[in-house]
Structure 1
Amino acid sequence: MKKIYLFLFALIALSSTAQSLVFEGKIVDKTTQESIPFTNIFVQNSTQGVISNEDGVFKFYIPNGVENIEVGHIGYKTQIFPVKEIKAEPITIQLETDEMALEEVIVTNKPINQLLAGILSNSKNQLDKSIKLETYYREFVKINDKYSKFSDGVIDFYIQPKKKEKVESKLEVNQSRAFQLAGADEIEKKGKADLSEMDSFFDIQKAANGFFTYEYINRISSDKANENYEFELRSKKDQFGNTLEVIYIKPKISVEKALMVGKITYDPINKVVLDIDVKMSDKHKQYVETINALIMKFAIHDIQIKQTYKYLNGKYIPSYRKSIIDIHIKFGKQMNDRLICISDLVVTDFNDNATTQPEKNKIFKERNLYSNGMNFTENFWETNNALPLSENEERILQTLKSK
């Protein structure tokens, strides 16, 4: 009898899996045929969705009962796909450039950094509530030009309202995996220290915090920002024909400081940030400062932040965050070693009325996923709306087969 029950259970599970329709493929520019990274693929009028990777590749497991899927990117016309017409095979989606998306310069009497400060403040207030983010997270660690570690997982972030501008979050790791891509003998030892066991500069406990605090951007919107930066404000149309405004951030050449460069796109009607794309200015990296730690000194030679949001049906929703940090480490008299950490966080679902919290025994308190190891019951990187690996990332992970 027990075997019969197990058999029936397996059939039910198989049937449930079979009913899940996979929408996958690649998104390209119709004119140039170049891939379009970070495109939103989501259920129409819903918070559920995924984003395409840097090669424009996506994979979305469509929930039951859904009628339409939207595919949209700022600067392109949105396409709607009726679920009943979607076939279980990869497709190439060609997005057309929106001619109305051409940018026009805006002249304003208010200093642009003050305008940005107001937009950031309102965006923070929109997210100052109990929120649950269902996410897929992954990170690579690279030491002295050799990829050393990789981890990923399906993680729920429970975010509490801010107290004194600090975000409090609790994590529940549903599934995870972690790999050592290179051993100590494979990593070039340029300095005196063995960095092969170093995990990551990132703290996974704070992986979602940037969505709510706008780190690295606050200083650009400060009262003294005009001393370091030049700003330009432009308007454009999004994929729905709505007017957006873009703040271009340019560091002044004469300022001898490590400064950021990039742009911030926001919705001028709802006054919320939609896209942050900033990095350290190449011309100002020469001014990075060395920081003293307990047993070493280090200098941050690059920071890159790509962060996107959606505003749907009155909801302000975090969507995707990519972080890259490049650190040069000094043991002794010279900057010998280099550590690069890359992380991706994709929000697959969002609840801004999270009344429940994870059970105490399920709260993950470690700094990274490596301590959780290989802890999964299914290939979640293929079946849980994970961000597909790019071709380059796939090549990196192929090294696992020989280990």
Structure 2
Amino acid sequence: MLIFGWTVSAQNVEIAIILKDADTNLPVEDATVFVLKTKQSLLSNSEGKVTFVLNGSSNIQVTHSSYAKVTVRSSALLKTDNVIYLKSTVNDLDEIIVTKQHPQKILKNLVDNSIKKLTVPARLKVYTREFFKMDGNYTYYNDGLMNFQLFGKDKNFKSNILVEQNRAFGLVYDQINSDVLGYNLNDIMENYYNFKYIDPITDIGGKKKYDYVIKSYSANQDFNIMIVTPIDNTKSLRDDFKIIYDWKKKIIIEINTTVSPTTLSNVKEKKAVGSKNIYKSTFKAIYRLEGENYYLVSSKEEIGFERVEKNKTTDIEVRNYFVTTNFSNQNYSYKESEVFKDKTLYNKKNVILSPYWDISGLSTTDEEQTIINDLQDRKP
């Protein structure tokens, strides 16, 4: 399962790992790599790659909802080109589970119990990355390192944000705001912790708008998967949902949503100025249970739409990532004046104290790095 040639034991060694499917040899994206010594979380990119710096030795856990868990020792790894093959455990013959309760009721109970189990108060050190594309060209990039201090409990979660570092390259457009980007940093963590992204299928009218199916999950016998799809011929923009949950502990592990091409083809095009015609929308959030701690590990969102303007339409695509690089149930000290109040890092000036992106928890792909370099070289 692991290819290596010699060991390394030097101080502050940078290690690179490539995760691949054992059967297809294709890269495995969105696997969580957890370094036990430093409690650092990393997420594999679309090339299956993760990189991190480690002082000394540590066990490293690799988990993915569709693959068997793997644990390796860092001292057995090269500095580069460590290939770890993951064995897929997904079975297309997962059995449908018949339940006495309607699956929506089960989902509501899962949400309620997950909210109660989430560890709060807590501090999440989060690396965020965003690519912005306009009319087919990448025009803007930003990333940042933030601390989210979470407090409150049971659907009353709140967060304060301290921005440690950030950088941005490319052209800044006055007309771009948080409504266009689709999020507000000051409430995004509350949304994750209240599972707002699945409100449409937990609302009282959800039964009339969606079909719910629960299946066993061959990838992990402790997990079930709930698949929720819009009813046929819907004229509204509704997502398909896939929710993986621990049926023993009754907590949500992963949420996937996407708007299917079939749904998009049935949605009537909007023509009013200021409206958005969405042609692509995906979202994924992963939660981790580590001992008594249960928290958000990562999220990824991508949206593409045409915005209707007075005399034209503008094609906009936004892709953003959140990765919790470190979790702590200890508070941090700060002044109220240091709390970040804006909705987005979009117009924030660069604050670079260290090359934080090199140990961000999310390695750039070759394609992404080319985009970043190109935007960095452009003059405003």
- Corresponding residue of 1:350: 327
Equivalent-residue separation in structure 2 for 1:160 and 1:362 (angstroms): 17
- Corresponding residue of 2:267: 287
- Corresponding residue of 1:367: 343
- Corresponding residue of 2:372: 397
Equivalent-residue separation in structure 1 for 2:369 and 2:162 (angstroms): 27
Equivalent-residue separation in structure 2 for 1:122 and 1:388 (angstroms): 33
- Corresponding residue of 1:329: 307
Equivalent-residue separation in structure 2 for 1:174 and 1:308 (angstroms): 24
- Using the size of structure 1 for normalisation, the TM-score is 0.82
Q: 1:40 aligns with which of 32, 41, 45?
A: 32
The equivalences for 1:191-210 within 5 A come to 198=176, 201=181, 202-210=183-191
User: Does 2:203 align with 1:222?
Assistant: yes
- Corresponding residue of 1:172: 162
The equivalences for 1:77-116 within 5 A come to 77-98=68-89, 103-116=94-107
Query: Is the 8 Å Cα contact of residues 380 and 386 (structure 1) preserved in structure 2?
Result: no
TM superposition shift of 1:104: 2.1
The equivalences for 1:268-347 within 5 A come to 268-285=247-264, 286-287=266-267, 296-332=274-310, 336-347=313-324
Identity %: 22
| Number of corresponding residues | 365
The gaps in structure 1 that reach 5 residues or longer are 1-17, 184-194
Equivalent-residue separation in structure 1 for 2:96 and 2:275 (angstroms): 44
CA gap of 1:306–1:27, structure 2 versus 1, over 3 A, is: same
Residue-by-residue CA offset, 1:358-402 (whole Å, 9 max, x unaligned) = 3223222222223332211221111x3331122332232232354
Q: Please tell me the root mean square deviation across aligned C-alpha atoms, in Å.
A: 2.7
Equivalent-residue separation in structure 1 for 2:92 and 2:61 (angstroms): 19
Which letter maps to 2:109? G
Residue-by-residue CA offset, 1:200-258 (whole Å, 9 max, x unaligned) = 513233343332122230221223212111121111244xx542000011211133221
Which letter maps to 1:209? E
Residue-by-residue CA offset, 1:345-364 (whole Å, 9 max, x unaligned) = 0001112x333443223222
- Corresponding residue of 1:30: 22
TM superposition shift of 1:22: 2.3
Which letter maps to 1:396? I
Query: Is the 8 Å Cα contact of residues 102 and 236 (structure 1) preserved in structure 2?
Result: no
Query: Is the 8 Å Cα contact of residues 16 and 51 (structure 2) preserved in structure 1?
Result: yes
- Corresponding residue of 1:133: 124
User: Does 2:212 align with 1:231?
Assistant: yes
Q: Secondary structure at the match of 2:331?
A: coil
Which letter maps to 2:86? L
- Using the size of structure 2 for normalisation, the TM-score is 0.87
Which letter maps to 1:31? D
User: Does 2:231 align with 1:257?
Assistant: no
- Larger radius of gyration between Structure 1 and Structure 2: 1
CA gap of 1:133–1:289, structure 2 versus 1, over 3 A, is: farther
- Corresponding residue of 1:5: none
The gaps in structure 2 that reach 5 residues or longer are 1-9
TM superposition shift of 1:309: 1.0
Q: Secondary structure at the match of 2:234?
A: coil
Q: Secondary structure at the match of 2:352?
A: coil
Q: Secondary structure at the match of 1:371?
A: coil
User: Does 2:112 align with 1:121?
Assistant: yes
